[in-house]
Each structure stands twice: as structure tokens, then as C-alpha cells.
């Protein structure tokens, strides 16, 4: 598992905030985030320990993107905690580069959100700074919306949109390897997010699969970038100056995906882009060549990883992959520290490769196809059960009717006669002259499909209608004949006086 240097640890001696050190060990008071200090009364924070609120069962996919080590406490029931008077904590999701992340819901509308907590007593709190970066990126595509930020008691609280699983979780779901189609579709979105961040004069410095998440609902095909706790401003719009280059710097970020120069020098935009290249190789192969290196200490391990990256050629790193991956990493390594990268060129490398592979950008990622494959047999089996249930129902009705006819033969005969009289059952009895279904002059068996003539009846209902029409016609003819034979007497014309 990659080790990430953290910037928020306590420092016993006066050191520069830019220097990196080992992560601090949390004290006993901070182990449970819902417990406040004995002499502190956090405002607007309600803790009701007498009514425990059970957390939902653990799911395979975490709904927000920080690589975390789930403890047994997070899976057990939590006391009911109200944050900012609007949100109730449900369960612990994990911890990121700093602070801890929780799933919560709104008290008024029940909307699901993610809440990040950080102890406000640390020497260098980073959550307020991260909230400001989110505010700068507000409205950008693939940037989660921050709903609320405040300091309550001994904790800094940031409420943001709840997102879907991380790319690391989805990689585990897809057997530790993405197809070339999924990798290229993700590459285009990831490069777009990094370009947006760089245009706002910030560099991320912690590019890794856990910091890229898929959305939920209508944003389920969109990639989101999170965790700007280690982000840094590289350009000042006020002074129009770029930060200076310097070496002998400690590593900031994750050693597995960090660039070669990030191990010993100041990072810039080129280092974020190089980390994206390693990320894409990781998606294709499921591992990187410098994974699994062992050393006696963490410092020695990072030194060996840096030597492996520097000594291994790009041809060897990109062996077995399309040439575009090699061209991408070569371009990133040749960039100068303050040089503005050509993001359009880098994105077009993968767009052209996508077209050359004759692929369709339909947002059907590997995990979507895997989900469809698992749901198809279930739906097929469910449809089969419904059809079988319908057949059983029809058989049951038929059997009940047969049993009823056997038990009450007179009633069944009476019902058939009643239906025949009502026109619900066709009359099949023939007359002496060979009449059948109201048609005369033909044989008893008329199954030919010749077109019916005008006035010909096809069933007992039409036969009765025809007979009624015939009677009415005969009655009218009789009346007309009587009027002709016996005309009505005319009254004599009277003369006026």
C-alpha cells in the first residue's frame, strides 16, 4: 500500500511548515471524533449518546474517494451526532491525507452528503485552506460542491456532495485491470480536471486513483477530482510570478505515483502530468514496476523507488502498451519547471488512439458492462419465473374448471346453455336442411375461408340480428301493401260562406 506524507502533524519543535515529517500519532482524545474535550462546549453540536443510530451495512464500494483503513468502530453503531444543525452523521467512510470522512444525511430533506472533520487544535490546519480551494474551483466540471464549512468546538467541518466509488475500488472490481477503452475514456476526463486546476494556478501534488471518483445518479459517468489538502499555488496573479525551482525537498504526495523530480525537488505542473501518466499505466497493468520494493526504513524505500524510476527507461516502463503512452511520458519529462504544458496536444494523443482503435465513446466502462452481465441472468431468471408462474396459474384454473364440471355436470350443462343463449358460445347444432350458423343452402361443414357475402351471419349473435332485421322489413312491407290496397278516405272540401 502506498505511503503518503502528511502535512498536518503536530510538531514538537519550531520547524518550517514546508518541511515534511512523519504522520503524527493521534492522541486518545482524538480517537473518537464525536467526543469533545471535557472543558469544551462546541456550539450547535448536539450529541445524543442515549439514542444510538445504527450505521448502514458496509458496502463493497465506498461512496467517497479516500483510501482508508476501516476500523471496527466505524462499522458498529454510532451515537447520533448533529453537525451544523442540519446534518446527522451516519457512518465513517475513511480518512484521507488529513482529517476523517463520514457519511451523513440532511435532517430536513434527507439528502446524502459527505462530511470531512479535522481537529482544529493542530499546528497547521489544512481543511480551511482546502475549503478555499474548493471555492476557487466552484462550478468547474468534475469538482464536488461544498455546501458548508465552519469550525464547531474542536473540529473543522466541511460538508460536500457525496460521490461514488473511487477508481481504485473500481479497479479491484474489474480484476485489477482496465481495458484500453476504459483507460482512454478516463484519461481524457482526468487530464481535463488537471488542466482546470492548473488554470486556477494550483497544482495537486497527490495524483492517485483514490483521489478520482465517479459520480452518482445522472453524474455516474463523470470523473470527479477531490482532496486538495496538499495542493499548492504555483503562480501569483497579483505579482505575475511563478514559484522558484529548488532542490533538496522532501517528498510531498504518494511515492508510487509521484514523478521522478518530486522525490527531491519542488513540484510544478509537469509533475502532476507525469503522475497522470503513471496512473494510466497502473490502470492498464494493475501495478507499476517499482511496487513491492522493500527496505529497512521508509526513507530508504522512497530512495529506492526514486532510483528505480530514474534508472528505468521509458521504453521499458511502457513496454507492451501503445506508443502514445511513451510519447506522453517523454513529453512530460522534457518540460521545463515553469513551462506551460500543451494540454490539447496531450489529450489529442489519447483521442487519436481512441479513434484508431475504432472504439465508441459511449461511457460504457468495464464496471458498467460487468454490472450488466451480472444483472442479465437475474432478469432472465426472474422473467422465467414469472412465465412459469403464469403457466401454473392457467393450469390451476383449467383443473378447477374440470373438477367443477365433473362434480356438477348438470350445472355445467346449464351454464353452457345460458352462454349459448346470450351469444357467448357459438351455436353448432345443424338444422334438417343443413343449416349451420345461420347460412342456408350449403353443407354442414363450412370451414372454407372464402369472403363472406352481404347479409351472411357468422355466429349466433349476428344470426339473431339478421332475423330481427328481416322481421322489421317484412312488417314495413305489409304496411305499405295495406296502404296501397286500402287507401285512406279523403275529407270533402268545404266551401267558405
- Mark whether 252 and 344 lie in a shared domain: yes
How confident is the model at residue 475, as a pLDDT?
Answer: 83
What three-state secondary structure class fits 456?
coil
Range with the poorest average pLDDT among 2-11, 173-182, 277-286: 2-11
Q: What is the CATH number of the domain that holds 90?
A: 3.30.200.20
Helix (H) or strand (E) holding 275: helix 269-285
The residue with greater pLDDT, 458 or 122, is 122
How confident is the model at residue 74, as a pLDDT?
Answer: 42
- Mark whether 126 and 169 lie in a shared domain: no
In-domain check, residue 153? yes
- For the residues 406-420, what does the mean pLDDT come to? 58
> Cα–Cα distance between 254 and 230 in angstroms, integer?
11
Contact 332, 345 (CB under 8 A): no
Contact 163, 215 (CB under 8 A): yes
- Mark whether 129 and 190 lie in a shared domain: no
Residue 116, marked binder: yes
In-domain check, residue 6? no
- Mark whether 77 and 127 lie in a shared domain: yes
The residue with greater pLDDT, 133 or 380, is 133
DSSP 8-state secondary structure symbol assigned to residue 367: H
- Mark whether 178 and 104 lie in a shared domain: no
Q: What is the CATH number of the domain that holds 348?
A: 1.10.510.10
**What would the grid cell of residue 438 be?**
345461420
pLDDT single digits (tens) 353-376: 999 999 999 999 999 999 998 887
- Mark whether 249 and 107 lie in a shared domain: no
- For the residues 143-159, what does the mean pLDDT come to? 93
How confident is the model at residue 406, as a pLDDT?
Answer: 64
How confident is the model at residue 376, as a pLDDT?
Answer: 74
Residue 140 has pLDDT above 80, yes or no: yes
Is residue 227 part of the annotated active site? The answer reads: no
Range with the poorest average pLDDT among 68-77, 117-126, 266-275, 299-308: 68-77
Number of domains comprising the chain: 2
- Mark whether 115 and 142 lie in a shared domain: yes
In-domain check, residue 181? yes
How confident is the model at residue 401, as a pLDDT?
Answer: 67
- Mark whether 129 and 176 lie in a shared domain: no
- Mark whether 122 and 190 lie in a shared domain: no
Residue 85 pLDDT grade (very low, low, confident, very high; cuts 50, 70, 90): confident
- Mark whether 285 and 364 lie in a shared domain: yes
Among 206, 210, 271, 272, the one annotated catalytic? 206
Residue 150 has pLDDT above 60, yes or no: yes
The residue with greater pLDDT, 132 or 403, is 132
**How many CB atoms lie under 10 A from the CB of residue 265?**
16
Residue 134 has pLDDT above 50, yes or no: yes
Residue 81 pLDDT grade (very low, low, confident, very high; cuts 50, 70, 90): confident
- Mark whether 298 and 316 lie in a shared domain: yes
The residue with greater pLDDT, 446 or 393, is 393
> Cα–Cα distance between 201 and 3 in angstroms, integer?
27
pLDDT single digits (tens) 46-61: 333 334 344 433 333 4
- Mark whether 218 and 151 lie in a shared domain: no
Helix (H) or strand (E) holding 161: strand 155-161
Could you report how far apart the first and last alpha carbons of the chain are, in Å? Answer: 132
Q: Which of 346, 378, 410 is the last residue of a domain?
A: 378
Q: Give the chain's length.
A: 497
Q: Which of 355, 378, 401 is the last residue of a domain?
A: 378
Q: For the chain, state the CA radius of gyration.
A: 41
Residue 191 pLDDT grade (very low, low, confident, very high; cuts 50, 70, 90): very high
In-domain check, residue 385? no
What three-state secondary structure class fits 28?
helix
Contact 172, 123 (CB under 8 A): no
- What is the residue range of 228's domain? 165-378
Q: Which of 125, 146, 162 is the last residue of a domain?
A: 162
Please name the residue that has the C-alpha cell 456550539: 43
In-domain check, residue 3? no
Amino acid at each position: 500500500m502506498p505511503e503518503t506524507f502528511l502535512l498536518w502533524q503536530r510538531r514538537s519543535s519550531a520547524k518550517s511548515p514546508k518541511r515534511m515529517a512523519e504522520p503524527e500519532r493521534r492522541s486518545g482524545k482524538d480517537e473518537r471524533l464525536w467526543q469533545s474535550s471535557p472543558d469544551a462546549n462546541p456550539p450547535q453540536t448536539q450529541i445524543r449518546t442515549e439514542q444510538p443510530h445504527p450505521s448502514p451495512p458496509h458496502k463493497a464500494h465506498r461512496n467517497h474517494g479516500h483510501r482508508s483503513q476501516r476500523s471496527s468502530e466505524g462499522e458498529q453503531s454510532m451515537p447520533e451526532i448533529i453537525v451544523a444543525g442540519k446534518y446527522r452523521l451516519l457512518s465513517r467512510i475513511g480518512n484521507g491525507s488529513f482529517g476523517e470522512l463520514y457519511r451523513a444525511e440532511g435532517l430536513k430533506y434527507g439528502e446524502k452528503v459527505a462530511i470531512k472533520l479535522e481537529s482544529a487544535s493542530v499546528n497547521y490546519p489544512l481543511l480551511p485552506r482546502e475549503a478555499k480551494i474548493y471555492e476557487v474551483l466552484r462550478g468547474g466540471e468534475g469538482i464536488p460542491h461544498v455546501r458548508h464549512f465552519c469550525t464547531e468546538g474542536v473540529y473543522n467541518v466541511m460538508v460536500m456532495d457525496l460521490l461514488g466509488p473511487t477508481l481504485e475500488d473500481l479497479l479491484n472490481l474489474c480484476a485489477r485491470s482496465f481495458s484500453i477503452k476504459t483507460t482512454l475514456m478516463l484519461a481524457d476526463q482526468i487530464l481535463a480536471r488537471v488542466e482546470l486546476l492548473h488554470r486556477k494556478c494550483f497544482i495537486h501534488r497527490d495524483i492517485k486513483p483514490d483521489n478520482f471518483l465517479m459520480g452518482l445518479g445522472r453524474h455516474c459517468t463523470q470523473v470527479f477530482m477531490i482532496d486538495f489538502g496538499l495542493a499548492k499555488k504555483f503562480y501569483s496573479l497579483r505579482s505575475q510570478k511563478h514559484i522558484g525551482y529548488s532542490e533538496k525537498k522532501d517528498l510531498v504526495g504518494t511515492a508510487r505515483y509521484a514523478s521522478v523530480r518530486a522525490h527531491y525537488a519542488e513540484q510544478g505542473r509537469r509533475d502532476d502530468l507525469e503522475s497522470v501518466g503513471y496512473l494510466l499505466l497502473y490502470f492498464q497493468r494493475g501495478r507499476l514496476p517499482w511496487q513491492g520494493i522493500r527496505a529497512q526504513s521508509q526513507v530508504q524505500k522512497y530512495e529506492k523507488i526514486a532510483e528505480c524510476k530514474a534508472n528505468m527507461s521509458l521504453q521499458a516502463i511502457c513496454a507492451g502498451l501503445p506508443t502514445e503512452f511513451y510519447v506522453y511520458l517523454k513529453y512530460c519529462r522534457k518540460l521545463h519547471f515553469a513551462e506551460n504544458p500543451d494540454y490539447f496536444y496531450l489529450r489529442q494523443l489519447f483521442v487519436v488512439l481512441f479513434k484508431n482503435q475504432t472504439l465508441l465513446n459511449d461511457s460504457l466502462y468495464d464496471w458498467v458492462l460487468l454490472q450488466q452481465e451480472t444483472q442479465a441472468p437475474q432478469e432472465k431468471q426472474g422473467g422465467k419465473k414469472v412465465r412459469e408462474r403464469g403457466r401454473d396459474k392457467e393450469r390451476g384454473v383449467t383443473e378447477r374448471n374440470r373438477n367443477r364440471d365433473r362434480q356438477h355436470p348438470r350445472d355445467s350443462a346449464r351454464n353452457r346453455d345460458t352462454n349459448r343463449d346470450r351469444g357467448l358460445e357459438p351455436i353448432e347444432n345443424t338444422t334438417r336442411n343443413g343449416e349451420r350458423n345461420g347460412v342456408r343452402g350449403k353443407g354442414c361443414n363450412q370451414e372454407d375461408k372464402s369472403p363472406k357475402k352481404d347479409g351472411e351471419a357468422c355466429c349466433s349473435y349476428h344470426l339473431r340480428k339478421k332475423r330481427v332485421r328481416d322481421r322489421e322489413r317484412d312488417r314495413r312491407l305489409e304496411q305499405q301493401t295495406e296502404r296501397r290496397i286500402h287507401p285512406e278516405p279523403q275529407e270533402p272540401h268545404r266551401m267558405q260562406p
